[in-house]
């Protein structure tokens, strides 16, 4: 079997022209576009600053939301309403129930200790 070498491809001698940089059609458009961008950045920065300040303030937060009474209500709701309807394996439901009951017991004992200290 004989292998014939393929003929070499012709090499082009004409080089393509270099790509020119893109220039704005009108110089004013570039300045106007930059102004719009900087205005949007400033508004976004002010908006973010306001969000951070609002998140840092605790004026609208009621301490009762974090109290043990509310926590116990939520845990009991989970135990009585959510857990029975949960679509999960029986072992997972049992584990979740045990964890919730343990948390309820711990919060009740802490509340009892606080009540003893305050008396």
- Find the DSSP H helices in the chain: 27-56, 68-77, 90-118
Confidence grade of residue 62 (pLDDT, cut at 50, 70, 90): low
Question: What's the mean pLDDT in 39-47?
Answer: 75
Query: Tokens 């961008």 identify what position?
Result: 37
d(CA 11, CA 14): 9
d(CA 65, CA 44): 32
Q: Tell me, what DSSP letter sits at residue 60?
A: T
Alpha-carbon dihedral sign for residues 33, 37, 38, 39: positive
pTM to 2 decimals?
Answer: 0.46
In a domain, 11, yes or no: no
In a domain, 13, yes or no: no
In a domain, 42, yes or no: yes
Coil, strand or helix at 13: coil
Report whether 83 contacts 96 (CB < 8 A).
yes
Coil, strand or helix at 79: helix
In a domain, 109, yes or no: yes
State how many domains the chain has: 1
Question: What's the mean pLDDT in 39-64?
Answer: 71
Contacts of 68 (CB under 8 A, 6+ apart): 107, 110, 111
Confidence grade of residue 80 (pLDDT, cut at 50, 70, 90): very high
Confidence grade of residue 96 (pLDDT, cut at 50, 70, 90): very high
Confidence grade of residue 78 (pLDDT, cut at 50, 70, 90): very high
In a domain, 101, yes or no: yes
In a domain, 2, yes or no: no
Confidence grade of residue 49 (pLDDT, cut at 50, 70, 90): confident
In a domain, 23, yes or no: no
In a domain, 44, yes or no: yes
pLDDT at 115 over 70: yes
What is the residue range of 75's domain?
A: 30-54+65-118
Residue 94's pLDDT is: 94
């Amino acid at each position: 079997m004989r292998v014939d070498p393929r003929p070499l491809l012709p090499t082009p001698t004409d080089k393509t022209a270099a790509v020119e940089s893109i220039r704005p059609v009108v110089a004013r458009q570039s300045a106007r576009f930059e102004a719009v961008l900087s205005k949007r950045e400033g508004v976004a920065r002010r908006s973010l600053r306001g969000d951070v300040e609002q998140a840092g303030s605790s004026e609208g937060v009621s301490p009762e939301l974090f109290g043990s009474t509310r926590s116990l209500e939520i845990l009991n709701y989970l135990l009585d309403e959510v857990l029975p309807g949960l679509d999960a394996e029986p072992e997972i439901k049992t584990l979740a129930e045990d964890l919730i009951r343990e948390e309820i017991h711990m919060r009740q004992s802490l509340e009892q200790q606080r009540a003893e200290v305050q008396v």
